[in-house]
Amino acid sequence: MKKIAAASLKEGQQFTKPVFIANDSLFVPENTVVRSKDIKLLVSLGVDWVFTEGDLVIAGNDDLKASQTEQAVEQVETGVSETHAALLLLIEQLNSVFSDIAKFRRSNIRLLWNITDSLIGLIKKSRNEAIGFVLCKNNSGLVMGKNSIDTAILSAVMGQELGFDNEKNQGLVAAAILHDIGMLRLPEEVVKKKGELSDKDKEIIRSHTIHSFNIMKKELIYPDSVCKIALQHHEHWDGTGYPRSLSGNYINERALIVSVTDAFVAMINNKVYRNSMTGYQAMKTLVSENASYFSPDMLKLFVKIMGIYPIGSGVLLNDGRIAKILDVNAEAPLRSVIQIIADKNGAAIKNGEKINLLTDKSLFITRALDIQGFKP
């Protein structure tokens, strides 16, 4: 195995065999070019050496190609279906990484970096469509990947709202994507248990945050500042969380974000012990029943971003028509931008009228509706 100084790598280089980081995590697949951002990330992670059994080949500029993920994302316009298709691709790729981690195989670190960068790029292009994707029913069967991407989408949006720089937001998104990977190393009979958990079972489940930290640090080479986000995402503002019962601002700032977004995503998905909630029900539960768990500032920001009726939610209007939430008016959370998807008789309407309830005072939302599976 050849030992290569990370500082000697140059953009455009490629090798005839895969290149690995010290712990056998994949850095660059065979015959895949090294990019400038790959080298910069190695430096930021403090990686001094990489290893390969292959030979170096210098590729010309014309040979530089984006990854499969990047190619897909570059083709994305702002349309909902195209954005959702790109997100589903990221979920498929993420689940392949999760499969490797679960089976203790070499992890494709570069693919993880691509997923993180691509997700951030998608949100910059199509923020509302990405948020709306979170409420879409998961028909892919790739449950963990969907939940992880959903958590990362909402976390990224919060990071943008807080003005995080690119490096800080990348760390947040990476941790949100990987926050639950420790679950992959727990006994399946405990994770999927349908009956009441014993005290021992609960202790095992709670250990997943420590496993997540160790996998991210030792196998995926993330810095402590990123790994701590996953470690602390189940700490509660009131000190009742785990693994260390931290409270208030003793909890990592970015972990406070993932705490909120992870809880919301959990609520809108089916669990072995309860059915999924609508976006409205989940928001109501966060604010009224579980508020003490979360940073007041982070919870307030989340409500500002999502509204009482989150983007993608179905609602019934006072005139009997059914609508879908397209955008949130931060100054008036109950008066969203909507699109009509069915008339008062329930007949579907394709490409229905878009209405801003902030300006049209004759209409208002009477209640939330579950529109999963409804196709105008």
pLDDT for the residue 26: 76
Please provide residue 184's backbone torsions phi and psi, each rounded to the nearest 5 degrees: -70, -15
What is d(CA 109, CA 25) in angstroms, rounded to the nearest whole number?
Answer: 6
> Does 11 fall in a domain?
yes
- Residues 271 and 134 placed together within one structural domain of the fold: yes
Residue 271 is given by DSSP the state: B
> Does 272 fall in a domain?
yes
Please provide residue 13's backbone torsions phi and psi, each rounded to the nearest 5 degrees: -70, 150
> Does 376 fall in a domain?
no
- Residues 203 and 341 placed together within one structural domain of the fold: no
- Residues 209 and 106 placed together within one structural domain of the fold: yes
- Residues 38 and 72 placed together within one structural domain of the fold: no
- 3-state secondary structure (DSSP) of residue 148: helix
- Residue 21: give its domain's CATH number: 3.90.105
Which candidate, 242, 343, 356, 251, places its Cα nearest to that of 296? Answer: 251
- Residues 232 and 189 placed together within one structural domain of the fold: yes
> Does 177 fall in a domain?
yes
- Residues 26 and 135 placed together within one structural domain of the fold: no
**335-370 CB burial, b ≥16 within 10 A, e <16:** bbbbbbbbeeeeeeeeebeebebeeeeebebeebbb
Residue 246: CB atoms within 10 Å: 17
Supply the pTM of this predicted model: 0.83
Indicate the residue type of 297. Answer: D
What is d(CA 160, CA 146) in angstroms, rounded to the nearest whole number?
Answer: 21
- Residues 136 and 269 placed together within one structural domain of the fold: yes
What is d(CA 208, CA 233) in angstroms, rounded to the nearest whole number?
Answer: 11
> Does 375 fall in a domain?
no
What is d(CA 28, CA 35) in angstroms, rounded to the nearest whole number?
Answer: 10
pLDDT for the residue 274: 60
- pLDDT averages per 10-residue partition of the chain, 376 residues: 84 86 75 82 78 74 40 41 87 92 89 94 93 79 88 98 95 98 94 88 96 96 96 97 97 98 92 75 87 94 92 93 92 90 90 93 91 68
- Residues 155 and 264 placed together within one structural domain of the fold: yes
- Residues 92 and 55 placed together within one structural domain of the fold: no
- Residues 151 and 225 placed together within one structural domain of the fold: yes
> Does 185 fall in a domain?
yes
Last residue of a domain, one of 306, 323, 340: 306
- Residues 37 and 127 placed together within one structural domain of the fold: no
Residue 37: CB atoms within 10 Å: 12
Determine the angle formed by the axes of helices 279-288 and 296-306, rounding to 10 degrees. 160
Last residue of a domain, one of 306, 329, 346: 306
Which candidate, 307, 310, 306, 322, places its Cα nearest to that of 355? Answer: 322
Indicate if the alpha-carbon torsion angle 262, 80, 364, 375 is positive or negative.
negative
> Does 34 fall in a domain?
yes
What is d(CA 213, CA 241) in angstroms, rounded to the nearest whole number?
Answer: 16
Task: Check if the beta carbon of residue 307 is closer than 8 Å to that of residue 174.
Answer: no
| Through-space distance between the first and last CA atoms of the chain, rounded to whole angstroms | 58
**61-74 CB burial, b ≥16 within 10 A, e <16:** eeeeeebebeebbe
The domain total for the chain is 3
Dihedral over alpha carbons 39, 45, 48, 52 (to 10 degrees): -60
- Residue 213: give its domain's CATH number: 1.10.3210.10
> Does 178 fall in a domain?
yes
Give the structural domain span for 319.
Answer: 314-369
- Residues 38 and 6 placed together within one structural domain of the fold: yes
